[in-house]
Amino acid sequence: MKITQQIKHLSRFSAPRRVVVSGLGVVSPIGTGTKLVWDNLLKGCCGIVSLRETEYLNLPCRIAGLIPVKNDSNLLKTLSKSNLKSMAPATCLALVATAEALLDAKWAPETDTDKEITGVALGMGMIDLKDVCDTNDALKIGYNKVSPFFVPRILPNMAAGQISIKYGFRGPNHAVSTACATGAHSIGDAYRFIKHGDADVMVCGGAESCISPLAIAGFCRLRALSTSFNDEPEKASRPFDKRRDGFVMGEGAAVLVLEEYEHALKRNAKIYAEILGYGLSGDAAHITAPREDGSGALLSMRRALQDANIEKNEVTYVNAHATSTLIGDSVESKAIKKLFDEHSSKILVSSTKGAHGHLLGAAGNLEAVFTILACYKGVIPATLNLEDPLDDLHYVAKVPEKWEAARRVALKNSFGFGGTNATLCIAQI
């Protein structure tokens, strides 16, 4: 290798690189397509509906955030019987969101070189329990009734694999499954792959489609779901509100295209925002409940700021994990106050889960999309159903607020069962 080539090769890995967002794709309970979903979010639309099938009638929770599929020909085609024979519904949703994100980024690599520097980091929080139950019933009839695609359908990394196969991406092929922190961890890991030179472009995010009677029953037994608003589903998800009584399950997918800054500039790509930092922590406390002093969330946020190399007073918005559970919302609020101290009065806080419910493994990435768009457009989406806040933080409630700052910088929190925490620091470019 020539000396100049050696220098060029070493310089690629000698210093952390800037990472930006150049493409977005969304499938959610409030619509499919990033523009439609963002517009619906700002309008205060809610995608939480009643579950009317007979299997749900005797369950304490009978509501969920369902994707509106009926009049969407693209979704209907993707969720066809032929596709579902070999792929889980979540994988199908991930493919739809990926197609939009790549089109938005105008990234369609054709050369081996470009395909080799493009990777995928995409996971899911839960497999489709209905698929497992149906396959078990099939086995009772006979061995030959078990689909040869059963195992691939339930593997959490298969969405990433299918995306890689479809587009020929040969960079890092990575899947995360960290419960409700999956989507944020996927973005954070992808950010680090680019930052440290493992890829120039990463397709990342999460997908979830596991709403079924068994899943609802399981979460009900954990006393995690809302049960007081079955007759008013649009009012059930109430982050930070004193009447909150649990989260509402949702489904969907959100995919981001992350890109090395210079790579994006050279091809004149649209840049929505920059990923400045990524923080992780573990509560080491309980399988479902967060540490009551908020120290796990605090560590995650603090580490994201350290990674971003910025001061806490540069942050003016926190897109909260806040799922509408009694303990979780109050603990996160406590952590925000501890971290920002006197600056907490200047922090705008919101959770969009009132509009779409809790997408589990696709929550952090969907909400990261909203945080990115807030940075890009200067508007903070509201927290629906927030009528009586649990404390005095500056919550953006019911209607969006204009975001005025010298540079718009936000934290996006995601926390999962098992005490796993992730925080992304996202900023206006």
Query: Among residues 408, 352, 398, which one has the least CA distance to residue 378?
Result: 408
With contact defined as beta carbons under 8 Å apart, do 204 and 195 qualify? no
Query: Among residues 83, 79, 103, 97, which one has the least CA distance to residue 26?
Result: 97
Stated pTM of the model: 0.95
Separate counts of helices (H) and strands (E) for the chain: 16, 16
Query: Quick one: DSSP state of residue 389?
Result: B
63/231 Cα distance (integer angstroms): 9
175/252 Cα distance (integer angstroms): 17
385/398 Cα distance (integer angstroms): 7
With contact defined as beta carbons under 8 Å apart, do 356 and 374 qualify? no
pLDDT tens-digit series, residues 72-82: 999 999 999 99
pLDDT reported for residue 15? 73
- C-alpha torsion sign, points 128, 133, 138, 142: positive
With contact defined as beta carbons under 8 Å apart, do 129 and 214 qualify? yes
210/216 Cα distance (integer angstroms): 9
Both tokens of 41, joined, read 């979010």
- 92 given a catalytic annotation: no
67/92 Cα distance (integer angstroms): 13
* Element spanning 407, H or E: none
pLDDT reported for residue 160? 98
pLDDT tens-digit series, residues 16-71: 899 999 999 999 999 999 999 999 999 999 999 999 999 999 999 999 999 999 98
pLDDT reported for residue 71? 86
Query: Among residues 262, 274, 225, which one has the least CA distance to residue 247?
Result: 225
Domains (range + CATH), the chain: 15-266 (3.40.47.10), 277-427 (3.40.47.10)
With contact defined as beta carbons under 8 Å apart, do 155 and 185 qualify? no
pLDDT reported for residue 117? 98
Please return the burial class of 314, using the count of CB atoms within 10 Å of its CB with bins 0-12, 13-18 and 19+: middle
Which of 180, 204, 210, 425 is catalytic? The answer is: 180
Please return the burial class of 245, using the count of CB atoms within 10 Å of its CB with bins 0-12, 13-18 and 19+: middle
Residue ranges for the chain with pLDDT beneath 50: 1-11
Both tokens of 328, joined, read 């979780």
Both tokens of 422, joined, read 């992730």
